[in-house]
Amino acid sequence: MSPATSVATATHAGPPAEPVLTLRGISKTFGSVNALTSIDLDVGAGEVIAIVGDNGAGKSTLVKVLAGVHRPDSGEIMIGSRPVAITDPAAAISLGIATVFQDLALCENLNVVENLFLGRELGPARLDEVAMEVRAWELLRQLSARIPTVRIPVASLSGGQRQTVAIARSLLGEPRLIILDEPTAALGVAQTAEVLDLIERLRERGLAVVMISHNMEDVRAVADRVVVLRLGRNNGVFDVATVSAQDIVAAITGATDNAVTRRTVRRATHADQSTAHPEGVTRVTEHPEGVTRVTEHQEGGTP
Ligand SMILES: Nc1ncnc2c1ncn2[C@@H]1O[C@H](COP(=O)(O)OP(=O)(O)O)[C@@H](O)[C@H]1O
Ligand SMILES: [Mg+2]
């Protein structure tokens, strides 16, 4: 590790073998609010990356940048190895980025097939009902979805089934990257398990998956890596196989007041003496090392 390496890079396995999405130095302000400051992110094919962080950490803003809802003020976005501009939602889709927003945007009164194909009905001039239904079943079967019939209104489906329909719909555009905003937030235990299975199936299909979540159990159950945002900055990237829940929570809260984070801070201190960012400084300052933050965003870009 180079002297400039922080905890964030120390726990980082390095760029994925087959990069799908790479962000470098993405920043976004709203007036005087720094919603995102110099965000780096690497997502590879067949990887599930969880993005976690407290309210206001910048998660939704990051999703919206990737979905083409917001333009970043600065920074670079690459799809594969190609720098791209995600100018609007249509650009995101044509770049192979599908986003399932938290509200799912399903039409309650329409059935599953109608929801899947809303706005992109098959056939040049008319709806081909049979083809759409066949395609719907095909998709749901690939996802091993438990949906009894594709001709019932979405209103009568469970939360997990709705999430499945929303994900299936996003797959129709054959994306390389799928972004799920809080996919299990409204779900009970069984439905959560169903959606987590579904996410694993997306990974098996070789998709890159970015999942926003508040739920540490879900994150640890399904993600390969956890990216922590705090106050709009990268505050650690963790390998799920080796990180503890406490480590993640400490990075989320910025707390450095327990044994786990003291250890993390010591590791950080050995690796990086240059960790002071005015916006990122947290409350605790009494460590012998004098370091006030657990992790820092990565100076100097690529690890
Ligand atoms: N459209 C907007 N206009 C002004 N401020 C915004 C807007 N969207 C987000 N913010 C601010 O940016 C910061 C990050 O918000 P957000 O991305 O929604 O965080 P999270 O999703 O992690 O809770 C917050 O301070 C929020 O108030
Ligand atoms: Mg949000």
For a ligand 1 pocket test, name from 61, 103, 231 the mutation site with the most ligand atoms within 8 angstroms of its C-beta.
Answer: 61
Pocket test for ligand 1, best of 28, 30, 55, 234 (most atoms within 8 A of CB): 30
CA of 64 to the centre of ligand 2 (A): 10
CA of 102 relative to ligand 2 center, distance in Å: 9
CA-based nearest residue to 248, from 224, 227, 267 = 227
What is the number of the ligand 1 atom nearest to the C-alpha of 229?
A: 22
* First-to-final CA distance of the chain: 9
Q: Residue 148: what pLDDT?
A: 84
Nearest protein Cα to ligand 1, atom 24: 56
Structural domains of the chain ordered from first start: 3-255 (3.40.50.300), 261-296 (no CATH)
Average pLDDT score over residue span 137-147: 83
**Per-residue pLDDT at 150:** 87
Q: In three state form, how does the secondary structure of the chain look?
A: CCCCCCHHHHCCCCCCCCEEEEEEEEEEEECCEEEEEEEEEEEECCCEEEEECCCCCCHHHHHHHHCCCCCCCEEEEEECCEEECCCCHHHHHHCCEEEECCCCCCCCCCEHHHHHHCCCCCCCCCCCHHHHHHHHHHHHHHCCCCCCCCCCEHHHCCHHHHHHHHHHHHHCCCCCEEEEECCCCCCCHHHHHHHHHHHHHHHHCCCEEEEECCCHHHHHHHCCEEEEEECCEEEEEEECCCCCHHHHHHHHHCCCCCHHHHHHHHHHHHHCCCCCCHHHCCCCCCCCCCCCCCCCCCCCCCC
Q: Which residue has the higher pLDDT, 5 or 122?
A: 122
Distances (CA, A) of 264 to 6, 48, 101, 243, 282: 10, 24, 34, 11, 15
C-alpha 55 to ligand 2 mean position (Å): 7
Query: What is the per-residue pLDDT across 196-218, written as a single tens digit (0 to 9) for each?
Result: 999 999 999 999 999 999 888 89
Give the mean pLDDT of 132-147.
84
Q: Which ligand is nearest to the CA of 55?
A: 1
Q: List pocket residues of ligand 1, CB cut-off 6 Å.
A: 30, 33, 35, 53, 55-61
Q: Which ligand is nearest to the CA of 64?
A: 1
Instruction: Please give the Cα distance from 36 to 229 (Å, whole number).
Output: 9
| More confident call, 217 vs 78 | 78
Closest listed ligand to the CA of 56: 1
pLDDT tens digits, one per residue of 120-136: 765 565 567 888 888 88
Atom of ligand 1 nearest to the CA of 63: 17
Which region among 110-119, 201-210, 291-300 has the lowest average model confidence (pLDDT)?
A: 291-300
The reported pTM is 0.78
- The CA-based angle 31-33-35, given to 5 degrees, is 120
Q: What is the residue with the minimal CA distance to atom 4 of ligand 1?
A: 30
* 232 CA closest ligand 1 atom index: 14
| CB environment 254-288: b (16+ within 10 A), e (fewer) | bbbeeebbbebbebbbebbeebebeebebebeeee
Q: Which ligand is nearest to the CA of 58?
A: 1
Q: β-pairing, 225-230 with 208-212?
A: unpaired
In angstroms, the CA 143 to CA 112 distance is 14
Specify the residue with its C-alpha closest to ligand 1, atom 18. Answer: 60
Instruction: For residue 28, report the distance from its CA to the centre of ligand 1, in Å.
Output: 10
Q: Which residue's C-alpha comes closest to atom 11 of ligand 1? A: 35
**Could you identify the atom of ligand 1 that is nearest to the CA of residue 61?**
17
Greater pLDDT, 181 or 8: 181
Confidence band of 243 (pLDDT split at 50, 70, 90): very high
For ligand 1, atom 3, the nearest C-alpha belongs to 30
C-alpha–C-alpha distance, residues 183 and 219, integer Å: 11
